[in-house]
Amino acid sequence: MKRLLLYSGLCFITLNLYAQDPILTKNNWYIEYLEIGGTVHPSPISGGIGIIDPNLVFENNQAYAVVDPFSDSFFSDVDHHPSDPVFTFFNMGITLPGCQAHCEFAATYFDLLVGDFIENTFEYNVVDNTDGSKTLTITDTNGDFAVFNDFPPLGLEDFALNKIQIYPNPVSDELFVSSEIFIHEIMVIDLTGREVLKQISNSFFIDVSSLSEGIYVLKVTSDFGRSFKRFIKK
């Protein structure tokens, strides 16, 4: 009887150690941007043609990541913390068919995921957005992070999006957006991926005076897709 209880206890501990958070497994995650060493790297992946593969998938205590489905991919076992929103990649590997598209972004993304290639621990946070979508942020022990949505990207016009500028930066009160294209929404996101301010309709400024001092990301949504600009609130 004691042996049976001991065996049952060990099974319970093992199941709790590796049990995945359903919020991670029931959604496919599409990368929106990375922030590495304080530099924002927007995703170059465009929709509108064919099927866009998810950029991060959790399944059966494993994870799979890809930027271009015909290029290199990342895979790993996953150890989930039993009570905290934390997971660790281990037994990692990268397939090497060769890079076909978005090579620089893919290299930065995979560097974030693999860490020292032994194990890499991330905290994660999932935000329920007002439009019903979800945003996942994973942050490593260095404070570098990746932000994902649970829906694939729309088609982008890079030239138009790159012409969007913000000023002043750093900013105290009103942050202005310079753009030649129609802006549907301006959103401020903190470094955990949480929406803290939002301005809807064709507005070219947002009042950030209520924000605490720190670093934020401005997400600008237009007819051509999304643009991300990092700014400092002073």
Three-class DSSP category at 145? strand
Start and end residues for every CATH 2.60.40.1930 domain found in the chain = 156-234
Higher pLDDT, 137 or 191: 137
Is 156's pLDDT higher than 50? no
Contacts for 209-215: CB closer than 8 Å, 24+ residues apart: 209/172, 209/173, 209/174, 214/190, 215/38, 215/191
Task: Please state, rounded to an integer, the average pLDDT across all residues of the chain.
Answer: 81
> pLDDT digit string (tens) for 77-120?
999 998 999 999 999 998 877 777 788 999 999 999 999 899 99
Q: Mean pLDDT check: name the lowest of 84-93, 131-140, 224-233.
A: 224-233
Enumerate residues 6+ apart whose C-beta is below 8 A from 209: 172, 173, 174
Is 162's pLDDT higher than 70? no
Between CA 111 and CA 116 the distance in angstroms is 9
pTM: 0.66
* Distances from the Cα of 123 to the Cα of 40, 88, 89, angstroms: 19, 9, 12
Q: In the CATH scheme, what is the code of domain 1-154?
A: 2.40.128.270
CB 148: neighbour CB atoms within 10 A? 24
Between CA 68 and CA 62 the distance in angstroms is 19
Q: In the CATH scheme, what is the code of domain 156-234?
A: 2.60.40.1930
Angle, alpha carbons 67-30-26 (nearest 5°): 120
- Out of 10-19, 109-118, 130-139, the most confident range is 109-118
Can you tell me the mean pLDDT for 131-135? 85
In the beta sheet, which residues pair with residue 229? 218
* Distances from the Cα of 21 to the Cα of 60, 74, 82, 190, angstroms: 11, 20, 9, 23
Cis omega (within 30 of 0) for bond into 170? yes
CB 199: neighbour CB atoms within 10 A? 18
Start and end residues for every CATH 2.40.128.270 domain found in the chain = 1-154
Q: What integer pLDDT is reported at residue 6 of this predicted model?
A: 36
Query: What is the band of 130 on the pLDDT scale with cuts at 50, 70, 90?
Result: confident
> pLDDT digit string (tens) for 33-80?
999 999 999 888 765 443 457 899 998 899 999 887 777 889 999 999
